[in-house]
Structure 1
């Protein structure tokens, strides 16, 4: 009798806790790189239990470049991921089953950094130089587009494999002449190199393509659209909350990821907010794509790099899962 009562009691507790306590769907999200400020909203939402309450058991996995995350999601190895949109454009052209659901960087975060004392004054001086960045990095993949836009022969530079954490040291030691990096960490480089720092953002060089975006495996989306909708709703809400107040988001990030400097991450977030803001994210919805821009990015990739199997760029993305009442602050 006692055994029956205890079983009934346990069932009552589970019922009070709600369905998410025992029926959460497992989802894997592969980041583009190791976690930093731009991923803080994900950790914040997870720490607040927002994903769990939506019936999602989210596993966040560090990435090794946009090309890797796009491939992993495209083959179904991960349900969700974050990848640079031009990389995703190419991946889909190679058969990856992916769709973009929310843009994080409405403006390209890509930039090149160098030391003015090296004699480099701008991209026209890149020829014959060494660029340091990781293999699989979106900047390396998109280099032909940047080169052609700035009048360079894409083959005129050589690439050196440098981990994200070693970029500044590589530039300082002069083992490379140039490094590519996101605008997020601009302040760190200014402090390190001062007036000797040279910088060329891609967005002012005619290559302002969409940056990191949330992507989903197409087959998974077709199978579980409601779960995907819940995930996007929580994620969009989390990014909006972090734009409003980054302090709890930073706390959630540093509690989950070791070795991060809070001051550096705060600086990064201020730059990230600039990259998140454009007419579409402020007037339509936070995270929304503009169809004309997606088409232009597709055409840029197609003309300057090539797409293995052409497709309609309208199939690459969807704004249908976003709440249009949630907008980026102007």
Structure 2
């Protein structure tokens, strides 16, 4: 009785109720924290999620495949997942729905040393590529290989830890590796003029990249909580474009990366967030035609059946007034 009375008084005063009244949301990242995750930590540190009664837990990930499995199984409500990887897992039965795009442009890049004799992506045939098994670009290799006029088995994959990519390439343990464009500056710094690379969007393969995916069953039952989470997140990404240094400061600790490196990486992230010229969409909004193209590419590359483009994404949770500055 006393607890109900206290709750009524707090409500009348406009004060938030007990902690258990908040909606609990677990977000699993695609990898460890980086510059592209800074808006989440920035918003969390400023209490923006708490202001809308969201109790957010951010978990480190181990690749898009891992995040897709966690969210698809309902072990997390949201995950940051590379869209082609998410579609492949959805085709296998996972209930995943894209709710906000981060990388509107594909982030896939292939990196090699020119001194190894590789002059272009066609020279990767017969070479050793290194990446973790759950690496998004490795999972999507059949689609990338097709764009490069290679067969999916024309290269040999070597399992390495994500943090070992640069060192393995330096030592010659592998001939090439995959990485997202937001860490391009590291390869330029380490390899200088010896660096060879190609971005898949420059060779015609440009699916949507990382996006916030929700567990579909949870989303259908918790539309209001999902909308509050997405709109705060939208606002955070827009604010971080406006004030990048303050935003990146929020992830220095979790990422164990210098502020200078985070700022350089964030500049690359913002390039990946840019929509097509003339597009009139809110920040994070999906173009149905591009989603359909991405679905078709996944369907063809992996013989995935049952993917309906209109069912794999929603723009309904986004605030249409929030645009990329």
TM-score, normalization by structure 2:
0.94
Partner of 1:259: 256
Partner of 2:15: 18
Aligned residues: 323
- Pick closer, same or farther for the CA change 1:175–1:265 going to 2, 3 Å: same
Partner of 2:121: 123
The separation in 1 between residues aligned to 2:119 and 2:302, in whole angstroms, is: 26
Partner of 2:287: 290
1:17-52, Cα deviation, whole Å (9 max, x unpaired): 722553211110001111100000000110010101
Which secondary structure does the structure 2 equivalent of 1:46 belong to? helix
What is the deviation of 1:11?
A: 8.6
Partner of 1:89: 87
The separation in 2 between residues aligned to 1:21 and 1:111, in whole angstroms, is: 47
- 8 Å Cα contact 2:65-2:85 kept in structure 1: yes
1:261-293, Cα deviation, whole Å (9 max, x unpaired): 221111100000000001389621000000000
What is the deviation of 1:191?
A: 1.1
Listed as ranges, the matches of 1:129-278 within 5 Å are 129-255=127-253, 257-278=254-275
Q: Which runs of 5+ in 1 are unaligned?
A: none
What is the deviation of 1:311?
A: 2.5
- 8 Å Cα contact 1:142-1:305 kept in structure 2: no
Measured on the aligned residues, the alpha-carbon RMSD in Å equals: 2.1
Partner of 2:104: 106
- 8 Å Cα contact 1:149-1:207 kept in structure 2: yes
What is the deviation of 1:222?
A: 1.2
Q: Which runs of 5+ in 2 are unaligned?
A: none
TM-score, normalization by structure 1:
0.93
Which secondary structure does the structure 1 equivalent of 2:55 belong to? strand
- 8 Å Cα contact 2:282-2:324 kept in structure 1: yes
What is the deviation of 1:250?
A: 1.0
- Pick closer, same or farther for the CA change 1:20–1:235 going to 2, 3 Å: farther
